[in-house]
């Protein structure tokens, strides 16, 4: 398989709007060629009878169902607050904004 050329790297850099120096183009062409070769080797190892998967193990949702349950009222929640205003916790201003 032919390697990635310097011109192809320059084209990819233009598409990605990256400004690369000439020495970076040479360096990256070698690195990209190594990466593509490694991916090709992995592709060769995949057997025909193994279906493609995104994860090696099945995933299950471990989140509980979203159910309405009894909770504190606003007055109960604010009962221990050092300061409150308009049924909300009042905290010191930290950003200097209004």
Q: Give the mean pLDDT per block of 10 residues along the chain (98 residues).
A: 82 94 91 88 76 80 88 92 92 79
Residue 28 lies in a domain: yes
Domain tally, the chain? 1
Residue 63 lies in a domain: no
Q: Quickly list DSSP for 23-87.
A: HHHHHHHHHHHHHHHHHHHHHHHS-TTSPP-S-SS-----PPP--------HHHHHTT-S-EETT
Which pLDDT score is estimated for 1? 47
Residue 27 lies in a domain: yes
Q: What is the pTM of this model?
A: 0.43
CATH of the domain at 12: 1.10.20.60
Which pLDDT score is estimated for 2? 59
């Amino acid at each position: 398989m032919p390697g990635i050329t310097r011109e192809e790297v320059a084209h990819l850099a233009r598409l990605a709007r990256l400004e690369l120096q000439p020495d970076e183009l040479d360096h990256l062409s070698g690195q990209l060629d190594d990466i593509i070769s490694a991916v090709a080797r992995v592709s060769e190892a995949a057997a025909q009878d193994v279906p493609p998967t995104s994860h090696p193990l099945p995933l299950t949702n471990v989140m509980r169902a979203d159910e309405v349950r009894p909770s504190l009222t606003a007055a109960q929640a604010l009962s221990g607050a050092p300061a409150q205003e308009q049924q909300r916790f009042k905290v010191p201003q930290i950003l200097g904004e209004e």
